[in-house]
Amino acid sequence: MGTALIYDEEMTKYKLLWIDRACKIEVPERLTVSHDALVKTGLADRCVAVPVREATDADILLVHSEEYLEGVKKTPYLTLEELKEFTLQYGDVYFHPNIYHCAKLAAGAALQLVDSVMTGKVRNGMALVRPPGHHSMRSAACGFCVFNNVAIAARYAKQKYGIKRVLIVDWDVHHGQGVQYCFEDDPSVLYFSWHRYEHQKFWPQLRDSDYDCVGKEKGAGFNVNVPWNKVGMKNSDYLSVFCHLLLPIAYEFSPDLVLVCAGFDSAIGDPEGEMRASPDIFAHLTHLLMNLAGGKLCAVLEGGYNLTSLHQSVCQTVQTLLGDPAPRPANLDGPCTSALESLHCVRAAHRQYWSCLKHAAELPSYDISTKRIKLPDSEEEEEEERQKTGEEEKSAEEEAWPEPPKRFSPPVSTALLLPEGVACPDGCQRFSSSDDPVLVNKLREKFLVASDDDLTTLCSLTALVEKMEKHEIGNGLALVRDVSMATVCVVQHAATAHRDRVLIVCVGDASVPRKGADDGKTLLVQFSNKESGEQKSKFHIPVCLHKGCSDVSGFTQAVLGLLLPLGYEYDPSLVLLARTPGSGLCDAAWQQLTGLLQGLAQGHTLVLMQEAEKACVGPTASSLLGVAAPPLGKLHAPLPEDVEALERLRLALQADWKLLRTTAPETGGEEH
Ligand code: Q9C
Ligand code: ZN
């Protein structure tokens, strides 16, 4: 199943017709450079081109008032002076004789995307649109937005397809207040937004954008705001919020559809956002959402004003939607203090609504720098303030950043090493290697108890890992007699062949000897129900769940809040996922794990399963091929003893692993 790309040149055919400092960045080239880049990289060709359509009055009225629609309808016939006048009612937006037409196409594009995904024509997709939508309100244009494309799409999807829950992820650097206002009392639409806030000093300067605006009445808990109080947020800050806030809530919510307000002004180089996340972070943000809602994800362009960072980010997003492995994320040096303060506050504000956050710390008692500041009351005061703080008109300093790393999509996606008589699922390659007698002898010396059959398997495994190193094969699955022996063999091979780091994830009680293995070349995370006593090393992390992995909620919590951040910070070049019988893990949770882990190590995951687990070959192979895992359903509260144990573990490890932090150090320093 493919990826839809929706674009129409018509949406480049309006522009700012007068001088307006606030609006001059919203240019037609935003769309042309994005689309050109998709064409030039060959990504556009790999997508299913879906035509736009005009949203109908009925579509638009799902969100907007009749008076407002009627007003906008007249704009094509206004003179320049009248257009300026019309524009003046609203903030930071401009009108043009062709913008009504484009706004109908933008909203219609979002609806076409929803239709393509909901009818199963494609798995997911992206719509490149202008004007953007998330600031526009029931009766007002705002922030370059005319109609609220994504809000309309959410209402439309619920109405037309009868779906119960929609998740809207707004990773644009501005707060989509229009989306918030539309759904703030509606528990069926969960709205998440992070945004530059600076204690309410940044546009749109709303009290409503702060972390304590959690939704109203029945919708309380279904509006999640992450205010950034400093500029310069980086990859670590974004990933921390995903792992410790958005994903746990999203999995608990269990959406039927994910809509993304995909603005890229949150990337480095953007003059509005002034953040420092690299364009390739969007590959990870996208990937991390792709196993929700059975993979039904619709991304709709919002902001993004640095043309270079914009097209790079768009390509990263689309390439990930197409299923190509994400590049290894760079510079994950942990979240900054200000980001941690924000994260802490949001988690505290939402702990009463989400069982995954029950254990989150309460609001910080120290003098939080997230306190709101007094806004200047008048423009004169504002000017005074500016002079005091020496804030000059910022010269558009051109920031340089490296091109996003090359993304490999190996000629063979998934190779399986299966005993004779076990069928190879469609789409995978059955892996066979001829025995290399020299290697067999070497292995025989190391594995004295190995049978001839075992040695053949180990030999093939070694060859498989080598092909993964060379990016000839993406990922693999081996069904073996002895998972522990196979794990040791792969790790030993990986250690000698210049593999820098291997993340070993064990589900069940495979015993992996750790003698002299705490040199950082491997990180072992083991899920089981065996109490293991003291934490011994930062590179050996036993995760004990009372019912093993059979409690899906506890397991999911451990994967999202512990394994993923550890994995991202460790940044392995290979992930070994070993599974032994009796783990109690259901197929859906296993597939979620397999899917999520492929965001690491450029998708190089090698799954090792005991022969007795052969019923699981099909589901595993499908996850490795990039098919979205089935939803886990709405999650109940995890066992309190598991939550406590996980929290203890996280606290114990956060000195060594910065991505595990969810609160700022008490000093609340000013430094980044
Ligand atoms: N420098 C979108 O990204 N101007 N809209 C703010 C403060 C309005 C952004 C001025 C920015 C609107 C969709
Ligand atoms: Zn924006």
User: Which of 88-97, 245-254, 344-353, 499-508 has the lowest average pLDDT?
Assistant: 499-508
- DSSP-derived secondary structure for 25-66: T--THHHHHHHHHHHHTTHHHHSEEE---PPPHHHHTTTS-H
Could you tell which of 24, 144, 382 is best to mutate to test the pocket of ligand 1, judged by most ligand atoms within 8 Å of the CB?
Answer: 144
The set of residues, in sequence order, having a beta carbon less than 8 Å from that of 469 and lying 6+ positions away, is 497, 499, 573, 574
| First-residue to last-residue Cα distance in the chain | 43
Closest of 538, 481, 485, 474 to residue 513, by C-alpha: 485
Q: How far from 405 is each of 104, 289, 472, CA to CA, in Å?
A: 37, 21, 18
221 lines ligand 1 (CB under 6 A): no
pLDDT score of 376 more than 80: no
* Ligand 1 pocket check for 178: Cβ under 6 Å: no
pLDDT at residue 389 in the model: 53
* pLDDT over threshold 70, residue 392: no
Instruction: Report how far residue 311's alpha carbon sits from residue 309's, in angstroms, rounded to the nearest whole number.
Output: 6
Sequence-separated (6 or more) residues with CB below 8 Å from residue 42: none
**Residue 582 in this model has a pLDDT that exceeds 90:** no
Among 109, 215, 114, CA closest to 163: 114
Q: Give the count of alpha carbons within 13 A of 453, CB side only.
A: 8
Compute the distance between CA of residue 633 and CA of residue 1 in angstroms, rounded to an integer: 23
Cα–Cα dist 197/203, whole Å: 7
Pocket probe mutation, ligand 1, options 92, 177, 179, max atoms within 8 Å of Cβ: 92
Q: What pLDDT does 671 receive?
A: 42
Which segment of 75-89, 520-534, 612-626 scores lowest on mean pLDDT?
520-534
Give whole-number Cα distances, 444 to 436, 447, 455, 486, 665, in Å.
12, 5, 7, 13, 52
pLDDT for 380: 60
Residue 163 sits at φ, ψ, to 5 deg, of -75, 150
Would you say the CB of residue 172 lies under 6 angstroms from ligand 1?
yes
Looking only at the bridges linking them, the beta strands covering 223-228 and 2-6 are unpaired
Tokens of 463: 């060859």
**Is the pLDDT score of 347 beyond 80?**
yes
Say if CB 603 and CB 596 are below 8 A apart: no
Q: Tokens 């809530």 map to which residue?
A: 249
Residue whose pair of structure tokens reads 């109203």 in the numeric block: 216
Q: Provide mean pLDDT across the span 251-258.
A: 98
Question: 270 CB under 6 A from ligand 1?
Answer: no
The pLDDT, as a whole number, for residue 667 is 57
Instruction: Check if 569 has its Cβ closer than 6 Å to any atom of ligand 1.
Output: no
What pLDDT score was predicted for residue 584?
A: 86
User: Ligand 1 pocket, 132 CB below 6 A?
Assistant: yes
Question: Ligand 1 atom 12: the closest Cα is on which residue?
Answer: 143
Q: Cis ω on the peptide bond leading into residue 131 (within 30° of 0)?
A: yes
Q: What is the pLDDT of residues 115-172, one digit of tens each?
A: 999 999 999 999 999 999 999 999 999 999 999 999 999 999 999 999 999 999 999 9
From 64, 135, 287, 359, the catalytic residue: 135
In this prediction, residue 384 carries a pLDDT of 62
pLDDT higher than threshold 70 for residue 390: no
Tell the residue nearest (CA) to atom 13 of ligand 1. Answer: 303
Q: Is the dihedral of CA 556, 559, 562, 564 positive or negative?
A: negative
User: What is the per-residue pLDDT across 170-222, written as a single tens digit (0 to 9) for each?
Assistant: 999 999 999 999 999 999 999 999 999 999 999 999 999 999 999 999 999 99
pLDDT of residue 607: 98
Phi then psi dihedrals of residue 638, to 5 deg = -70, 160
Q: What is the mean pLDDT of residues 48-68?
A: 98
The phi and psi torsions of 574 (rounded to 5 degrees) equal -150, 140
Supply the pLDDT for residue 550: 82
Rounded to whole angstroms, the Cα distance separating 127 from 53 reads 12
Ligand nearest the Cα of residue 26 is 1
Would you call 653 helix, strand, or coil by DSSP?
helix
Q: Per-residue pLDDT averaged across 594-609, rounded? A: 97
**Which residue has the least CA distance to atom 5 on ligand 1?**
143
Measured in Å, residue 632 CA sits from the centre of ligand 1 at 37
pLDDT value at residue 670: 46
Q: In this predicted structure, what is the pLDDT of residue 353?
A: 97
Mean pLDDT, residues 21-28 taken together: 98
Q: Return the number of other C-beta atoms located less than 10 Å from residue 45's C-beta.
A: 10
Give pLDDT tens digits for 287-330.
999 999 999 999 999 999 999 999 999 999 999 999 999 999 88
Distance in Å, CA 331 to ligand 1 centroid: 28
Question: What's the confidence (pLDDT) of residue 22?
Answer: 97
Residue appearing with tokens 């029950």? 358
Q: Is the CB of 302 under 6 A from ligand 1?
A: yes
135 is catalytic: yes
pLDDT for res 414: 97
User: Ligand 1, from 203, 260, 264, 302: best to mutate by most atoms within 8 Å of Cβ?
Assistant: 203
pLDDT at position 3, please? 98
Architecture category of domain 2-329 in CATH? 3-Layer(aba) Sandwich (3.40)
DSSP 209: G
- Ligand 1 atom with the smallest distance to the CA of 265 is 3
Ligand 1 lined by 92 (C-beta under 6 Å): yes
DSSP classification of residue 12: G
Q: How far apart are CA 9 and CA 27, in angstroms?
A: 13
Provide the pLDDT for residue 640: 87
Q: Which residues are within 5 Å of ligand 2 (an ion), measured at CB?
A: 172, 174, 263, 265, 303
Question: How confident is the model at residue 210, as a pLDDT?
Answer: 98
Long-range Cβ pairs for the range 74-80 (8 Å, 24+)? 75/99, 75/100, 76/100, 76/101, 80/17, 80/18
Q: What are the tokens at 340?
A: 């941690």
Residue 144 Cα to ligand 2 middle (Å): 9
Q: Which CATH number fits domain 412-633: 3.30.70.250, 3.90.226.10, 3.40.1160.10, 3.40.800.20?
A: 3.40.800.20
pLDDT at residue 382 greater than cutoff 80 = no
* Ligand with an atom nearest the CA of residue 145: 1
- What pLDDT sits at residue 669? 45
Q: How many residues does the chain have?
A: 672
Q: Kindly tell me the burial class for residue 383, based on how many C-beta atoms sit within 10 Å of its own C-beta (0-12, 13-18, 19 or more).
A: exposed
What's the burial of 620, exposed, middle or buried (CB within 10 Å: 0-12/13-18/19+)?
buried
Residues in CB range of 85: below 8 A, 6 or more apart: none
For the segment 79-93, the average pLDDT, to the nearest whole number, is: 97
Over residues 359-377, the mean pLDDT reads 69
**pLDDT mean over 406-416:** 92
Q: For residue 37, give Cα distances in angstroms to 44, 131, 301.
A: 9, 20, 15
Q: Could you tell me if the CB of 304 is within 6 A of ligand 1?
A: no
The pLDDT of residue 547 is 80
Dihedral (Cα; 426, 413, 505, 297), 10-degree rounding: -80
CA 274 vs CA 285, 397, 579, 671: distances in Å: 19, 10, 44, 17
pLDDT of residue 549: 80
φ and ψ at 465, to 5 degrees? Answer: -60, -40
Question: Each residue of 172-181: pLDDT tens digit?
Answer: 999 999 999 9
Task: Decide if pLDDT at 499 tops 80.
Answer: no
C-alpha 136 to ligand 2 mean position (Å): 12
- Return the ligand number nearest the Cα of 301: 1
Q: How far is CA 581 from CA 90, 591, 596, in A?
A: 62, 16, 21
Range scoring the smallest mean pLDDT among 383-392, 559-568, 593-602: 383-392
Strand order through the sheet with 166-170: 48-50, 2-6, 122-127, 297-301, 257-262, 166-170, 189-196, 223-228
As given in the structure block, the two tokens for residue 101 are 């037409």
Structural domain boundaries of the chain? 2-329, 412-633
In this prediction, residue 393 carries a pLDDT of: 47
Among all ligands shown, which has an atom nearest to the Cα of 92?
1
Distance 91 CA to ligand 1 centre (A): 9
Average predicted confidence (pLDDT) for the chain: 92
Determine if ligand 1 sits within 6 Å of the CB of residue 26: no
Side-chain-side CA neighbours of 396 within 13 Å: the count stands at 7
For residue 567, give every residue at least 6 positions away whose Cβ sits within 8 Å of its Cβ, in sequence order, or none.
503, 575, 597, 600
pLDDT of 371 higher than 70? no
